[in-house]
Structure 1
Amino acid sequence: MSVDFGLMWSVFENGKGFGPGDAVSGLAESGFGALARHDGGVHCVHHDSLWCGGDLWWTVFAPAADEGRGSWSERRRVGLAPVVSPVSLASYRDTLYLAYLTRRSTDDFPVLMLAALRPDGSWESREFSHAAKGQPVLTVHEGLLHLAFHGFDPAAELGEGAREIYSPRLSDEFVLTAYQYDNTDVMYHLTFDGTSWSDAVALPVVGRFDFDLAFHRGQLHRVFRRYDDESRDAAAIMHTVLEGGTWSEPVVLGHATGHGWPVMAVHDDMLYVAWATGGWSGPEEDAEDYDDPSAWRPPAYDASIRLGVLESAGWREVDAVSVEAWTGRPRTPTPALISCTESAGGPSRLLLVYPAQADPR
């Protein structure tokens, strides 16, 4: 079964919900996008497949100057292959930053990369850390650029399978450190002031990968996916807040199947979260029948994107976007969410970008 996927976008308005979905032009197959407001537009960097590999592509949403909805530029290749992780974007002090993981044939473990957009439209990339294990997240808060990522715990007891690798440890000096790939996860958090990076602080970990972070009213919020069972057929979407150096007890926001994870955005001083449902379930990735379409089971319920908002009484679901085409491929796409202004001087809108089946016409 072969299905081409492209990016769709929709706008959420309070009291009206999501508007009709439109295709982002020129995208034959794409997935796992990241959004950031930069230089008057919304920049989108995305993978060239739903399987989160290969190269990255880049397009920009230009807000309309009148009552129109705006338009997307033709996509350009970023040229940072191979990229093997979800990516993150943030605009800080007139520079657009991109964080991603790469894994070359000579690497035992993923390498965390940090790229910056040059004035000429090219990307300058450098190795940032060899201690990374999973998804990076960039965000801006109180005049600082924040970076968090899953990494190895050097203090964990080493066992069979431990390897020695060199880690830059946030400096130019490489320090020999022993790590084990399956050690206890650590979420590293550090900040950039425009000149230098702070030392990394190991935040307590709740869950594993597939997370997003957002600052809202002075607190650091985290949403993540936690598997409901060992088979990974279903997952709970969780929310927690960092309070006094520890995470609050996670609260279940909803449930999903497949591999998609939740994302957050602050809009009109409210915290929103979006996640996808309706992914297929099937064999583990190393199983012999993993690529056999007959081994996969279709969604147990309709494929959709759920949108929730945090209020004083807790989380409330406010709308959903139906995406029936997800039943045509065994993967749950991950949406991207950002607050932006569609027209000059106009009200802000909540922009949703998500992978869906490409128009066959």
Structure 2
Amino acid sequence: MFSKLTRSKRLSLFGFAVTAVALAGWGVAASRSDGAIERRPSPAAGATSLLGGASPSQLMSVSSGTTGTDSISAEAIKPAAPLSDEGFKSECVSPLRSERYAEAIEACQRYANDERLGGKAHAALAAIYSTRAYRDVTASVTHAERAAELGDARGKFMTAIQMLGGYSTRPFDLSFVRKMLEDAQRSGVAQAGMLLNRIADSEQCRKNKQTFTLLNAPVFCMFRPEISQVLIARGMSQRNADAQSWADIWRPGEVLPSSSQAELLYDRSPDDEMLRLAQFTYRFDPIAASDQLPLVVQALRQKYGAPSRSSSKELVAGSSMIWHAGTDVDITLTRLSDGSAELRYAQTPRASERESHLAREDQLSRQARIRRQQVAL
């Protein structure tokens, strides 16, 4: 069903942490601010669980150089007990819920190849690697897609989240995402309904005749991978992606050849942690600005009318022109003090909330990294 990972470098550039949503159904709190120290698993307990129940003394006997089977107890060499639902819950799910992620990873990996419990194990691993403590997108995507292949509901849910965010290795297909979420919802993943509602909201936004469009697309209604598809179809190519600031940088190509780059800034609501476009900005270097801005201003006037506000008749350094276009969308053309310029399309509610959401994410990520390090201290 799923293609092999061919964009691991690309995925790692745009790291993500969808903690609250990805861990939905596992019983893990969205965030913790009490500074609780993650409990370290007992080395002996970890060893015995991996070696079929051999006790520490038996392990010492095996490692002391003795080769004869008569010196090894029957307990030490008997086959491992069959993997059970109870074992999975206590060894994999329980430490996951307690945010003892290192312990959970070790245990869940034991179940990953089990014919009956493998899907659940891969889904748990996908959730762990998506947390702020790890931010390993490639690992999370790999485990989620494997879990989905095995028919696991949470795996399908995680795969849908990753596709909506633009992290999946699959070409984006909204109908496929909807099917994955519907399957997950029918299997009891209640949070899938929230994302289905977000898709319905997006589709309703596109149908609204008053919706603002850029490049003939309702970009502020669309999901990140859909916007990327639009830009690629227009001949643009991605230059970079900044994980820390939820930003994509594109080469404009022939879309607006006088500009040096297009910068897309996304916002991510704490409610569903989906990336939504907040600002689309074309940037012009000083030489291009001096040469091309008169034509840009003329084109904007012809398309959107006279500016709603203008700080000067001529676009000189430090001045700007603003157009109100569509619902909650402002277009601002600014000449900066160094002679460069920027043309910004902003969905004003998202743009105004973005900084506070980024600050919140930075704080939560820092707390998660501290808790992970506390395990070894």
Q: What is the TM-score when the length of structure 2 is the normalising length?
A: 0.27
Q: State which structure, 1 or 2, has the greater radius of gyration over its C-alpha atoms.
A: 2
Q: What is the TM-score when the length of structure 1 is the normalising length?
A: 0.28
Q: Which has the higher helix share?
A: 2
Q: Which has the higher strand share?
A: 1
